[in-house]
Amino acid sequence: MFQSIATRSIVPVGLAVTGFVAVCCLSLYAIMKQDMIDDAARQGRNIANTVVLSTRYAMLHNDRQHLGNIIVNIGQHQGVEHLRVFNHDGVITFSRNQSEIGHQVNKKVEGCSGCHSGSKPVEQLAAEKQIRRFKNERGVEVLAMSQPIYNEPSCTTSCHYHPPGHKVLGMLDIGLDQGPLQNSLALMRYRMIVFTLMTLVLTVGGVAALLNRSFFIPLKKLVAVTGSDESSETEKQLASGYGELSLLARNYHSLVVRLNDTREALARCRSCNKEKDGQDQQQ
């Protein structure tokens, strides 16, 4: 089976097309997934910035009740898994989840280690390093980002005093549910698989159909013609319309005709010789 022309023509084409389309789809999927995650992170940073700006006035006036209400209200927004503010020492001061308030944040976890890995904490962190992805205790995939709350001149001069030496006053930590993003990715994955399969069926099927129509069918006829001794209807069908194969059939036909003529001439010659020999013997 593997030695037939059909297999030898279709297997390399099928393998090459299947492989290349698969590589392109997988790479494209990885790129699109990264782009979608980056978009979600950008959206998350915008929400974090909005929260920081919304709470700025309350922070300057040390209005803790107002600040707490803003955090709780925004935290109840659909898709927000957690929203909390922790101070310079890592103690959670405001959170959507009231039971977290007063707890110390572990500085060794992924979100904190970006700044706290060295002996001295880093004050400015690249945007992509502020992002982390994990599964929370409820098994929800979360995309979280931390937004530093920097000390400003107005903070050092307001009623509740922050020394100018404190560059970072605290952190706003927001976690977004990745469920909708994962659903979009799954849908995209499914569509890409369908698209890939359709491309493969069309390419391999198209090549196979064309090869069958223009090569394998006439080849079978040619094999049938050359395999039998008598000229048949198939030979007439192959006489034209199949390009090189028709030419080959014609050449074969003329070869057979010439061979038959030669055989007949040889037979005539032999019978002539026999007649001649008979006449000679009679004489």
Partner 1 sequence: MTTPPEASGSVQTPEQQQCAALRHEIRRLRTRSHQGLWAIAAFAAVSVPALLSGQLFPPLTPEVKKMLGTPPSGNMISALLVVYAFSAILLVLGRITNGSPKMVSFSHIGYLICFYAFYYFSGVLPENFWAVLATGMTILSLESYHIWTYCTAKIREEEETLAILERRMGVKQER
Query: Which of 11, 91, 247, 259 contacts partner 1 by CB under 8 A?
Result: 11
Distance in Å, CB of 82 to partner 1, minimum: 24
Residue 16 sits in the site that holds partner 1 (CB under 8 A) = yes
Span from 5-13, 96-104, 170-178, 243-251 in contact with partner 1 (CB under 8 A)? 5-13
Query: Which of 26, 109, 125, 223 contacts partner 1 by CB under 8 A?
Result: 26
Whole-angstrom distance between the N-terminal and C-terminal Cα of the chain?
A: 67
The 3-state DSSP class for residue 86 equals strand
Which CB, 40 or 51, lies closer to partner 1?
40
Amino acid at 159: C
Q: How far is residue 38 from each of residues 33, 34, 75, 131, 224, measured CA to CA in Å?
A: 9, 6, 21, 10, 64
Distance in Å, CB of 19 to partner 1, minimum: 2
Residue 19 sits in the site that holds partner 1 (CB under 8 A) = yes
**Directed axis angle between helix 179-211 and helix 5-60, to 10°?**
160
Residue from 113, 119, 121, 171 nearest 146 by CA: 171
Residue 8 sits in the site that holds partner 1 (CB under 8 A) = yes
Question: How many Å is the Cα radius of gyration of the chain?
Answer: 42
Residue 2 sits in the site that holds partner 1 (CB under 8 A) = yes
CB contact at 8 A, 88 and 169: yes
* Site residues (CB under 8 A) for partner 1, limited to 76-135: 117
Distance in Å, CB of 230 to partner 1, minimum: 30
- The kind and range of the H/E element at 267 are helix 244-282
Distance in Å, CB of 31 to partner 1, minimum: 5
Q: Hey, which residues does 104 pair with through a beta bridge?
A: 91
Which CB, 31 or 257, lies closer to partner 1?
31
CB contact at 8 A, 151 and 168: yes
Q: What are the residues whose beta carbons fall under 8 Å from the beta carbon of 100, sequence distance 6 or more? A: 84, 92
Query: Which of 5, 20, 260, 273 contacts partner 1 by CB under 8 A?
Result: 20
Distance in Å, CB of 208 to partner 1, minimum: 17
Span from 22-30, 66-74, 135-143, 152-160 in contact with partner 1 (CB under 8 A)? 22-30
Q: What are the residues whose beta carbons fall under 8 Å from the beta carbon of 232, sequence distance 6 or more? A: 224, 225
Distance in Å, CB of 15 to partner 1, minimum: 5
The residues binding partner 1 (CB under 8 A) are 2-3, 8, 11-12, 15-16, 18-20, 22-24, 26-27, 30-31, 33-34, 117
